[in-house]
A and B are shown apart, each in its own frame.
Chain A
């Protein structure tokens, strides 16, 4: 296969003309995206732009063309989600989706089911990152507040010690102070080996933490750049179509 490199030789994860379908409905039309080692990128866009679809496709929940997703130069499109986790990509799904019949600690433990090898993140370290989870470790996961559930969902994904952490709308439905608490954990997550792709409705938050931003519009890439290079006019145009 021809080795195509995107913007950088250090690309950790690349999407090449990535398409995705729900049955007959095409949701992504050839997305090109690069995530470099150590980077945080944010994907923004209106509802239905294909942001969550993109993450689901990378994680293997939706079928990708074989060379549509490339990790470390190796095509991983079309692999089963369980295999993709083992290769080092973890998804924090939209809506948290903790397992209701498992306790908080069990939810975290099951996150390590597919872990590749021993890495930085362990149960004690995650309890250090989110102390409130340690206090409520025995509680049923549904007894947690929304913010605590979001922390648990992130911790669950980190238990696999991913190299790529995909976060789908982690601020959705949470109070601003809670969102700040969750985003405060991001530097430590990055410092310990994970590069991050955030899907965010909250543009201000996204621009604050991201090294680069991609804006999707109706399944296509409308705009990309560093937050400092983007003006509210260009973003507005990319968001809604000029």
Chain B
């Protein structure tokens, strides 16, 4: 019994990481209907930026991420402004092609710069610390921190979206970009700001991606798949749904792995397919779409 409980708990914690991967993707798709195929690679890129800052300034990963955030946000704004805004329009194909190309460019750029060696964001003692919830049921401190960060990030995004003027502009532009312009909203500026916010979420994702396991320049696309699945399970446009989606995939993976270690990844995908069959619009679809 404790064994099963432990497995599920680990899955929930893992789900927090997947929810972080998914939140940035969901934000971008929600606002500008851009399917960012480079999302996973941007997370890996951010992890290398954090790593670089750690080495250059001798910082711990948390502080390095804090410094990386404004840099990555500025990069996101520039990327959207200079490149991605030009691909947006009635046709869904150009953004797919351009972000696919971006994915390849980022991977190869990182390979050239950092080599194919796998890396880790070392955080010291916290990596192995754990707390015992009840006798026999323990959870890693880092796991708890990741899950709390995921909840905090989603809480923050919800506050931004539903309690601020910028959030209102995000939602209005998402609803009806043509009419949003008539309100004095410059859509392109709004899209660029959205990408800047997404890059901050990506920085948080990158921190935990690199602290929890090894990473190398090529692992981005696999992360993209989990993010997609979490977004679709949750229902497009709902951040809390994204957390639920992440948790469902996480629990399916750990339970699958407990039954047979080879089934970890497969079980996650099967859970995704099951939700797709039973609730094609996700668990928490947005009313009007």
Chain A interface residues (CB < 8 Å from chain B) = 59-61, 80-82, 85-86, 90-91, 93, 97, 99-102, 106, 109-111, 113-115, 142, 156-157, 160
Contacts and interface: CB of A to CB of B under 8 A. Distances in A.
Interface in B179-194: 179-186
A102 B182 contact: no
B185 A114 contact: yes
- Chain B: interface secondary structure? helix
B181 A101 contact: no
A195 B171 CA distance: 30
A115 B185 CA distance: 11
A111 B165 CA distance: 11
Given A97-B176, A113-B165, A142 B186 contact: no
A80 B287 CA distance: 31
Given A82-B185, A82-B186, A97-B179, 4 more contacts: A100-B175, A102-B172, A114-B184, A115-B184
Interface string B152-175: 000000000000010011011011
A80 B181 contact: yes
A82 B175 contact: no
Contacts, number: 67
Contacts of B186: 80, 82
B286 interface: yes
B182 A59 contact: yes
Contact of A81 (B174, B181, B286, B287): B181
> Which 7 pairs between the two chains have the least Cβ-Cβ distance?
A114-B184, A81-B181, A85-B184, A99-B175, A99-B172, A97-B179, A113-B184
Contacts of A109: 165, 168
Nearest to A95: B179
A113 B185 contact: yes
Contacts of A86: 184
A61 B185 contact: no
Interface residues of B, number: 20
Which of A60, A81, A101 has the largest count of B CB atoms less than 10 A from its CB?
A101
B140 to A, nearest CB: 38
Contact of A160 (B165, B168, B174, B184): B184
B185 A99 contact: no
B178 interface: yes
Contacts of A82: 181, 183-186
Contacts of B287: 100-101
19 contacts: A61-B178, A80-B181, A80-B186, A82-B183, A82-B184, A91-B182, A97-B176, A100-B287, A101-B287, A101-B288, A102-B171, A102-B172, A110-B169, A110-B180, A111-B183, A113-B169, A113-B185, A114-B183, A114-B184
Nearest to A60: B181
A63 to B, nearest CB: 13
A204 B111 CA distance: 72
A230 to B, nearest CB: 31
A85 B182 contact: yes
A158 to B, nearest CB: 12
A110 B178 CA distance: 14
